[in-house]
Chains A and B, each alone.
Chain A
Amino acid sequence: MGHSATYHAGNYDVIVVGAGHAGCEAALAPARMGLKTLMLTMSLDSVALMPCNPAIGGTGKGHLVREIDALGGEMGKNTDKSFIQSRMLNTSKGPAVHSLRAQADKKDYSSEMKSVLENEKNVTLKQGEVVDIIIENGKAIAVVTRTGARFNGEAIIVCTGTYLKGKIYIGEVNYFGGPNGLEPSMYLTEHLEEQGFEFRRFKTGTPARIHEDSVNYSKMEIQPGDDEIVPFSFLNDRLEKKQVPCYLTYTTLETHKIIMDNLDRSPLYAGQMESTGPRYCPSIEDKVVRFSDKNKHQIFIEPEGLGTKEMYVQGMSTSLPAEIQLKMYRTMIGLENVEIMREAYAIEYDCIDPTRLKRSLEYKDVENLFFAGQVNGSSGYEEAAAQGIVAGINAVLKIKGENSLILDRSQAYIGVLIDDLVTKGTNEPYRMMTSRAEYRLTLRQDNADLRLTEIGYKVGLASEERYQKMLSKKAAIESELTRLSDIKITPTEKANNILHRLGSSPMKKPVTLYDLIKRPELSYDDIAEIDNNRPELNKEVRIQVNTQIKYEGYIKKQMKQIDQFKKLEGKKLSKDIDYSKIKGLRLEARQKLNKLKPESVGQASRISGVSPSDINVLLVYLEQQRRIADRSENID
Chain B
Amino acid sequence: MEIDTITAIATAPGEAGIGIVRISGKKAIEIVDKIFKGKKIKKLSEIEQRKLTYGYIIDPKTETKVDEVLVVYMKEPYTYTTEDIVEINCHGGIIPVRRILEIVLENGARMAEPGEFTKRAFLNGRIDLAQAEAVMDLISAKTDTSFDVSLNQLEGSLSREVKELRQRLLGMLAHIEASIDFPEHDEEYATYNQLKESGTEIFSNINRLLDTVYTGKILREGLKTVILGKPNVGKSSLLNKILRENRAIVTDVPGTTRDIIEEYVNINGIPLKIIDTAGIRETNDIVEKIGVDKAKELISRADLVITVFDVSENLTKDDMEIIELIKNKKAIILLNKTDLKNMIAKEDIEKYLPDVKIIYTSMITGIGVSVLEDTLKDMFFSGEVKIKDNVIVTNVRHRDQLLKAKENLSDAINAINLELPYDLVEVDLKNCWENLGEITGDTVGENIIDKIFEDFCIGK
Question: Which residues does A use to contact B, with CB under 8 Å?
Answer: 53, 59-60, 89-90, 92-97, 278-282, 287, 290-291, 294, 297-298, 300, 314-315, 317, 433-436, 440-441, 520, 551, 554, 557-558, 582-586, 608, 611-614, 616-617, 619-621, 623-624, 627-628, 631
> Cα distance A614–B115 when bound, in Å?
12
Most chain A beta-carbon neighbours within 10 Å: one of B181, B445, B452: B181
| Distance from A54 Cβ to chain B, minimum over Cβ atoms (Å) | 12
Interchain CB contact under 8 A, B139 and A616: yes
A-B contact pairs, 30 of them (CB 8 A): A59-B180, A89-B184, A90-B180, A90-B183, A93-B180, A95-B421, A96-B421, A280-B459, A281-B460, A282-B459, A287-B457, A291-B457, A298-B185, A300-B184, A434-B177, A435-B181, A435-B449, A554-B427, A584-B137, A584-B140, A608-B445, A613-B113, A613-B115, A613-B140, A616-B115, A617-B136, A621-B132, A623-B122, A624-B133, A627-B132
| Distance from B192 Cβ to chain A, minimum over Cβ atoms (Å) | 12
| Distance from B81 Cβ to chain A, minimum over Cβ atoms (Å) | 14
> Cα distance A278–B249 when bound, in Å?
52
| Distance from A346 Cβ to chain B, minimum over Cβ atoms (Å) | 14
> Cα distance A278–B418 when bound, in Å?
37
> Cα distance A294–B457 when bound, in Å?
9
> Cα distance A236–B419 when bound, in Å?
34
Find chain A residues with CB under 8 A from B452 CB: 435
| Distance from B457 Cβ to chain A, minimum over Cβ atoms (Å) | 4
Find chain B residues with CB under 8 A from A282 CB: 457, 459
- A435 and B116 in contact, given A93-B183, A617-B140, A620-B132 (Cβ under 8 angstroms): no
| Distance from A289 Cβ to chain B, minimum over Cβ atoms (Å) | 11
Q: Does B270 contact A (CB under 8 A)?
A: no
> Cα distance A95–B133 when bound, in Å?
49
Interchain CB contact under 8 A, B123 and A623: yes
Contact of A433 among B115, B119, B132, B181 (CB under 8 A): B181
Q: Does B458 contact A (CB under 8 A)?
A: yes
Chain A proximity mask over B136-179: 1 for CB below 8 Å, otherwise 0:
11011001000000000000000000000000000000000101
Q: Does B271 contact A (CB under 8 A)?
A: no
The A-contacting residues of B in range 435-460, CB under 8 angstroms, are 445, 448-449, 452-453, 457-460
Find chain B residues with CB under 8 A from A279 CB: 453, 459
Chain A proximity mask over B106-127: 1 for CB below 8 Å, otherwise 0:
0000000111100100110000
Find chain A residues with CB under 8 A from B453 CB: 279-280
Interchain CB contact under 8 A, B460 and A317: yes
The A-contacting residues of B in range 298-346, CB under 8 angstroms, are none
Find chain A residues with CB under 8 A from B427 CB: 441, 554, 557-558
Interchain CB contact under 8 A, A582 and B136: yes
> Cα distance A440–B422 when bound, in Å?
12
- A93 and B423 in contact, given A317-B460, A608-B445 (Cβ under 8 angstroms): yes
> Cα distance A91–B452 when bound, in Å?
21
Find chain A residues with CB under 8 A from B426 CB: 440
Size band of the interface chain B makes with A: 35 or more
| Distance from B2 Cβ to chain A, minimum over Cβ atoms (Å) | 9
Q: Does B371 contact A (CB under 8 A)?
A: no
Find chain A residues with CB under 8 A from B116 CB: 616
> Cα distance A26–B135 when bound, in Å?
46
Most chain B beta-carbon neighbours within 10 Å: one of A97, A278, A440: A97
| In the complex, the 3 A-B pairs of residues with the closest C-beta atoms, listed nearest first | A94-B421, A584-B136, A613-B143
Identity of the chain B residue whose Cβ is nearest the Cβ of A299 in the assembled complex: B460
Q: Does B186 contact A (CB under 8 A)?
A: yes
Q: Does B54 contact A (CB under 8 A)?
A: no
Interchain CB contact under 8 A, B424 and A441: yes
Find chain A residues with CB under 8 A from B123 CB: 619-620, 623
Find chain A residues with CB under 8 A from B143 CB: 611, 613
| Distance from A581 Cβ to chain B, minimum over Cβ atoms (Å) | 11
> Cα distance A621–B185 when bound, in Å?
50
Find chain A residues with CB under 8 A from B418 CB: 520
The A-contacting residues of B in range 372-427, CB under 8 angstroms, are 418-424, 426-427
Interchain CB contact under 8 A, B136 and A290: no
> Cα distance A441–B427 when bound, in Å?
9
Find chain A residues with CB under 8 A from B129 CB: 624, 627-628, 631
- A551 and B424 in contact, given A612-B113, A620-B135 (Cβ under 8 angstroms): yes
Identity of the chain A residue whose Cβ is nearest the Cβ of B115 in the assembled complex: A616
> Cα distance A96–B427 when bound, in Å?
12
Q: Does B182 contact A (CB under 8 A)?
A: yes
Add 6 more A-B contacts to A282-B459, A440-B426, A620-B136 (CB < 8 A): A554-B424, A584-B135, A613-B115, A616-B116, A617-B140, A620-B139
| Distance from B215 Cβ to chain A, minimum over Cβ atoms (Å) | 30
> Cα distance A608–B453 when bound, in Å?
21
Identity of the chain A residue whose Cβ is nearest the Cβ of B2 in the assembled complex: A567
Contact of B122 among A53, A433, A582, A620 (CB under 8 A): A620
Find chain A residues with CB under 8 A from B445 CB: 608
| Distance from B172 Cβ to chain A, minimum over Cβ atoms (Å) | 13
| Distance from A95 Cβ to chain B, minimum over Cβ atoms (Å) | 8
Find chain B residues with CB under 8 A from A613 CB: 113-115, 139-140, 143
- A621 and B181 in contact, given A279-B453, A280-B453 (Cβ under 8 angstroms): no
| Distance from A206 Cβ to chain B, minimum over Cβ atoms (Å) | 9
- A53 and B460 in contact, given A90-B180, A93-B179 (Cβ under 8 angstroms): yes
Find chain A residues with CB under 8 A from B177 CB: 433-435
- A586 and B457 in contact, given A96-B423, A620-B119 (Cβ under 8 angstroms): no
Find chain B residues with CB under 8 A from A520 CB: 418-420
Identity of the chain B residue whose Cβ is nearest the Cβ of A293 in the assembled complex: B457
Find chain B residues with CB under 8 A from A616 CB: 113, 115-116, 119, 139
Interchain CB contact under 8 A, A60 and B137: no
| Distance from A317 Cβ to chain B, minimum over Cβ atoms (Å) | 7
> Cα distance A59–B178 when bound, in Å?
11
- A60 and B139 in contact, given A53-B460, A627-B129 (Cβ under 8 angstroms): no
> Cα distance A434–B421 when bound, in Å?
14
> Cα distance A53–B184 when bound, in Å?
15
Most chain A beta-carbon neighbours within 10 Å: one of B143, B186, B460: B460
Find chain A residues with CB under 8 A from B186 CB: 298
Identity of the chain A residue whose Cβ is nearest the Cβ of B452 in the assembled complex: A435
- A59 and B185 in contact, given A96-B423, A315-B460, A616-B113 (Cβ under 8 angstroms): no
